[in-house]
Amino acid sequence: MKEFFIATRNQHKAQEIMAVLGGEFGCRTLRDCASAPEVEEDADSFAGNARKKAAALASWLEKNPRAADRKGGKGGRGLAEVYVLADDSGLEVDVLNGAPGVYSARFAAMDSGAKGNSTDAENNAKLLRLLATVPAEKRTARFRCVMVLIRLGQRETGPVVFDGVCEGMIGFEPRGKGGFGYDPLFMPVGHAVSFAELGAEVKNTMSHRAKALEKLKQYLAGI
């Protein structure tokens, strides 16, 4: 079985990734590895940040191989069957020239200069405030996801990059209880309800993340 080490501390993201990948893969996250390094997400693109997250975890796992091997290194398969997968993603709103973009997780905190990510409620409130006078037809937006895959022990093949986009509109108020982040405000094309109302099962058939993961699964099936 291929083992994935998902370079995220966002449990919602991790759950979506695991649900789309399905049971044929083993998955762990940074939560299973408390001493893995924090990564400063200071690149100006999703791909740049995803590369940083993947490379940092891959380097750490190569220096700490026991963390990557479920069998503790005894008779295990070593690092060759272990993949690091990083996801950097966010929301691009057309009328805001693509913001929040790479700043999606810390959109509200950018105003106060506070360190770290903002809460989903703070980010959604800021987005609604900025769009307060924007009519429905100008509220077009998309979620974008870039994933970077590194196969440990086979670094010469280099990182492989997959992306996915989901087009939609920003609503006028948060709706629904599912998902995370901007899901209560995002209505995917063809739907008059938000991702948070549609729920995980439907979201995972059409989201930016699901589209990137479908490409990743095809890649894995071909190697």
Q: Can 88 be counted among the known catalytic residues?
A: yes
Nearer to ligand ITT, 68 or 99 (CB): 99
Contacting residues toward ligand ITT, per CB under 6 A = 8-10, 13, 41, 87-91, 104-105, 117, 123, 143, 179-183, 207, 209
Least gap, CB of 100 to ligand ITT (angstroms): 8
Least gap, CB of 222 to ligand ITT (angstroms): 26
Nearer to ligand ITT, 153 or 191 (CB): 191
Least gap, CB of 120 to ligand ITT (angstroms): 6
The closest residue (CB) to ligand ITT is 181
Least gap, CB of 40 to ligand ITT (angstroms): 11
Nearer to ligand ITT, 3 or 183 (CB): 183
Given a contact cutoff of 8 angstroms between Cβ atoms, the answer to whether 161 and 218 are in contact is: no
HEC string of the chain? CCEEEECCCCHHHHHHHHHHHCCCCEEEEHHHCCCCCCCCCCCCCHHHHHHHHHHHHHHHHHHCHHHHCCCCCCCCCCCCCEEEEEEEEEEEEHHHCCCEHHHHHHCCHHHHCCCCCCCHHHHHHHHHHHCCCCCHHHCEEEEEEEEEEEECCCHHHCCEEEEEEEEEEECCCCCCCCCCCCHHHEEECCCCCCHHHHCHHHHHHHCHHHHHHHHHHHHHHCC
Least gap, CB of 179 to ligand ITT (angstroms): 5
Nearer to ligand ITT, 3 or 207 (CB): 207
Nearer to ligand ITT, 8 or 79 (CB): 8
Q: Of these residues, 69, 87, 88, 120, which one is catalytic? A: 88
Given a contact cutoff of 8 angstroms between Cβ atoms, the answer to whether 146 and 161 are in contact is: yes
Annotated catalytic residues are: 88
